[in-house]
């Protein structure tokens, strides 16, 4: 009965506090899901529970050892979870207000509905033609995280996405073909962009810097990336720092549209 009494005594702000903590844990879970970090996170929780157990059982030596570990644990957390913390801060500090308005509309604060207008069909068709001619390409789709800090490394543009435009940018003799392009809401906002390259993950030797750059940008932000291999003509799709397997072009098309929605 005391428990129910305590629940009834909770203030409105206490309920808000619980909901916000639940949301925070949910986003932390989304960031670490499918990565090695989830195992590390579970290990830290186990150590914390063991520490509390030894403290409860008055095991002074073990309590002092685990207590010392937990006191410096915040520094260890920052080091171990550096990529996830960076991604989380990018998500929180994103200045893409169009996406924020979309989030509010999903909560029905606004009646009208917006969606990403990127012409995925045109981009996929261009990638398919470039794959046949073995023309290398790297296309990054901007989502919630604003990528202006990457756009500044290349040439800022404001070009509507069409199949001929994508093909002409990556044409081998084009001055814009080197590097990546960033697409947001059916606009090519930058070309010749230099992306962070991942040097840690083991990927097949047949893949080169474009694929490592695609892994790097998608694990540090929530962006999506398409790569057309110059050597094999194979199209690769990346999300959350990982290869995404697809059966054919049609399935890839649907996957990107769903991920951008």
pLDDT of residue 103: 47
Q: Give me the phi and psi of 223, to 5 degrees please.
A: -65, 160
d(C-alpha 249, C-alpha 226), whole Å: 12
Distance set, CA 231 to CA 22, 126, 133, 206 (Å): 47, 17, 10, 8
Mean pLDDT, rounded, for 190-215:
78
Range with the largest mean pLDDT of 27-31, 34-38, 86-90, 141-145: 141-145
Residue 184 has which token pair? 């947001």
Residue 108 has which token pair? 């029905």
d(C-alpha 225, C-alpha 256), whole Å: 9
Q: Is residue 137 within 8 Å of 174, Cβ to Cβ?
A: no
SS3 240: coil
d(C-alpha 23, C-alpha 1), whole Å: 29
Residue 119 scores a pLDDT above 80: yes
Percent of the chain with pLDDT over 90: 28
d(C-alpha 241, C-alpha 227), whole Å: 13
Residue 78 has which token pair? 């920052």
As a whole number, the mean pLDDT across the chain is 79
SS3 150: helix
Tell me the whole-structure pTM to 2 decimals: 0.62
Q: For the CA atoms of 25, 31, 34, 36, what is the dihedral angle to 10 degrees? A: -90
d(C-alpha 120, C-alpha 117), whole Å: 9
Mean pLDDT, rounded, for 148-165:
89
Q: Is residue 164 within 8 Å of 154, Cβ to Cβ?
A: no
Count CB neighbours of 1 within 10 A.
Answer: 5
Count CB neighbours of 216 within 10 A.
Answer: 21
């Amino acid at each position: 009965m005391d428990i129910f009494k305590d629940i009834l005594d909770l203030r409105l702000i206490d309920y808000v506090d619980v909901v916000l903590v639940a949301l925070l844990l949910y986003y932390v879970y989304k960031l670490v899901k499918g990565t090695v970090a989830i195992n590390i996170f579970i290990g830290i929780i186990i150590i914390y529970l063991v520490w509390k157990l030894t403290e409860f059982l008055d095991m002074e030596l073990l309590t002092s050892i685990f207590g010392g570990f937990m006191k410096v644990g915040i520094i260890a957390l920052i080091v171990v979870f550096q990529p996830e913390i960076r991604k989380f801060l990018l998500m929180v500090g994103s200045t893409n207000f169009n996406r924020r308005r979309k989030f509010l509309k999903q909560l029905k604060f606004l009646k009208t509905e917006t969606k990403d207008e990127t012409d995925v069909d045109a981009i996929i068709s261009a990638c398919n033609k470039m794959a046949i001619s073995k023309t290398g390409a790297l296309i990054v789709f901007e989502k919630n995280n604003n990528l202006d800090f990457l756009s500044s490394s290349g040439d800022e543009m404001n070009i509507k996405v069409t199949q001929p435009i994508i093909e002409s940018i990556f044409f081998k003799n084009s001055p814009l073909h080197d590097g990546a392009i960033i697409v947001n809401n059916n606009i090519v906002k930058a070309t010749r962009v230099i992306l962070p390259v991942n040097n840690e993950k083991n990927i097949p030797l047949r893949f080169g810097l474009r694929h490592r750059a695609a892994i790097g940008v998608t694990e540090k932000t929530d962006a999506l990336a398409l790569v057309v291999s110059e050597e094999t003509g194979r199209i690769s799709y990346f999300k959350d720092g990982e290869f995404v397997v697809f059966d054919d072009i049609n399935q890839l098309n649907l996957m990107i549209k769903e991920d951008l929605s």
